[in-house]
Structure 1
């Protein structure tokens, strides 16, 4: 079976990293087309042996990309085209149909309650999405929450299949030696209580709340932010204005060093109020961290006993500061990591790959039967 994955871009981001991890476990011949930005994840995919083509799309309305993508799909004689992220879903579904591919799968990675991929949900964007969704064979939702949102949007429920995001739980396990080495490298004192956050530095992630909370906490509390994005300079100015610029460490974009960075943390806080899954929260749980989050469909869709070290909190600076004080006191009374909870194993990437492979094979058999 030959599958072409079409994605909007391959810079560092959750959907992009998830695609790379997934391709390591899918037992099919896979290739990738990125419409824009052949960034670090493109290089990583090529290092994994996955062919990556950059289409060179110049913007959302670059209609010249459509015939180029159609020709590429036709030449590849793919059995399935699988699209990821809004722009790729719109253009990829149309191109796949024009190229004669009978089955098109789309994964909805980033549909929030009021936004998609960090942009407000407008009526035009919704109408275009629904029009092209009808050209596909199946839409994959990364959580039950996203499946419900798709149905509310107007996607027919029988076309939606839930395949959760996945993690490499074993690869994220806490490493005490890595903790010490990472703290030395980043200039974090061995006895500091380190609050961690991971994600793109964009307004929707609300990392300004974390910076504000650290300003209300004792001097030995530090903030380790892992990620890059357009809000970096604004957050740096906020840290300086709050008098905590010497207590915030900027680790840069999420890379393969993530397990070591998680090992350097003592608590993980996700202040984002609108998520489609909450992958970083699940990764932190796999690293044995207590987690405090404002929104995380991955956990909200499960019974509480599957993630006992995770707790939902309010989204204000005072709420976050109070949560960190509570976890810091618990850590002082009983240092050490939390057991890896069932939720981390439930969302193992190999399991997600098996679910997606079953969907592929079902579609492939249907085409063969006809």
Structure 2
């Protein structure tokens, strides 16, 4: 079977959709399928540690609308391409709309929605969401099948849009748990490199440092509400502009910013930490949360997207209100760093849950089965 994926961004760009599409391509290739990716050249703007993918067509971006790319070349390439199945990603991105229009309705199309509810962190974002809704409905109408990442996401989709329930499949995100095994020597080297004391509790967060991810709430929880607590906060992710400058100004000397790290160092970061925090308000099912659970960390998280399907309050971590409040974030962090036995018990449950329910190879096989159903 020949499958073409059309994400708005792909490797070497770093992000949840990019990682999902990349893992899926690898699994499909291993299963004997032919894969190709068509994306925009905004994927090449990050300057991170990853290389261009040789099986990917990076199309020139014609313009952007609120940082959402439009590519005439992408539209043309998709229209001229042939495949047994096209797999698109999230209706909120304009390349998805372009691809849905370019592909013949006789060819099966599948859409994975990486977060049914888009960002609504400002009045402008809420107005854009309302105005864009008919366009998202058009994309959904073109699809033969829609994948959502959790049961709560399916219910949100059915509440917001006119989609036949039988067309919607719940297939979660996943990771390859065995890829995240690291040696104590590597973790010790990571701690030395970044000046982290293993005896000091470390809070880790991995995300883009942008308003919708609410890293400012996490920094405020540490600096304003836990000013005298002996801990370290490590924030891994890129950021720019005024928001990032404000974020660094609010931080104290317990906060470490790492713009980008390679995969080996990211593994070490998980295993050198004690608590993982996710404060975002718009999400599907975050890969980094699953990675942190696999590293036996308790999760302090909002209930955005499908996260409430994975994290039960008290059993897997602390579910915050959405949007999060800095006082509550501080309370959750204080609870886990003050109760090491509880922290470790939650971590063990999280690792077992990921191994049993979120192994990527099983999830990729379910997606492959869905391809077979629509062909």
Q: TM-score, normalised by structure 2?
A: 0.83
**Of 296, 300, 320, the match for 1:292:** 300
Give the 3 Å change call, closer, same or farther, for CA 206–43 of structure 1 in structure 2.
closer
Alignment pair present for 1:196 and 2:204: yes
Alignment pair present for 1:88 and 2:95: yes
2:359 alignment partner in structure 1: 348
Post-superposition offset of 1:268: 0.8
Alignment pair present for 1:126 and 2:128: no
Residue ranges of structure 1 left out of the alignment (5+ in a row): 365-370
Alignment pair present for 1:229 and 2:239: yes
Q: TM-score, normalised by structure 1?
A: 0.84
Paired with 2:308 and 2:158, the residues of 1 have a C-alpha distance of 18
Note if contact 1:282-1:344 (Cα within 8 Å) is conserved in structure 2. no
Paired with 1:361 and 1:42, the residues of 2 have a C-alpha distance of 36
Q: Deviations over 1:200-248 (max 9, x none)?
A: 1111211112111212333521100011124322210111xxxx1x111
Post-superposition offset of 1:250: 0.8
Alignment pair present for 1:16 and 2:18: yes
Note if contact 2:59-2:71 (Cα within 8 Å) is conserved in structure 1. no
2:267 alignment partner in structure 1: 259
Residue pairs, 1:281-320, within 5 angstroms: 281-302=289-310, 304=312, 308-314=315-321, 315-320=324-329
Paired with 1:69 and 1:125, the residues of 2 have a C-alpha distance of 21
Give the 3 Å change call, closer, same or farther, for CA 175–148 of structure 1 in structure 2.
farther
Post-superposition offset of 1:73: 3.2
2:369 alignment partner in structure 1: 358
Paired with 1:302 and 1:333, the residues of 2 have a C-alpha distance of 18
**Of 35, 42, 48, the match for 2:40:** 35
Q: Name the stretch that deviates more: 55-64 or 207-216.
A: 55-64
Alignment pair present for 1:168 and 2:173: no
Post-superposition offset of 1:144: 1.8
Helix, strand or coil for the counterpart of 1:269? strand
Post-superposition offset of 1:69: 3.6
Give the 3 Å change call, closer, same or farther, for CA 312–336 of structure 1 in structure 2.
closer
Residue ranges of structure 2 left out of the alignment (5+ in a row): none
Give the 3 Å change call, closer, same or farther, for CA 213–175 of structure 1 in structure 2.
farther
Paired with 2:205 and 2:179, the residues of 1 have a C-alpha distance of 19
What is the total number of aligned residue pairs between the two structures? 353
Q: Deviations over 1:341-365 (max 9, x none)?
A: 324531111111011100111112x
Post-superposition offset of 1:31: 0.7
Post-superposition offset of 1:64: 8.5
Note if contact 1:178-1:263 (Cα within 8 Å) is conserved in structure 2. no
Alignment pair present for 1:58 and 2:67: no
Q: Name the stretch that deviates more: 49-58 or 34-43.
A: 34-43
Q: Name the stretch that deviates more: 282-291 or 247-256.
A: 247-256
Query: How much is the aligned-residue C-alpha RMSD, in angstroms?
Result: 3.1
Residue pairs, 1:146-225, within 5 angstroms: 146-154=153-161, 155-173=163-181, 175-215=183-223, 216-217=225-226, 218-225=228-235
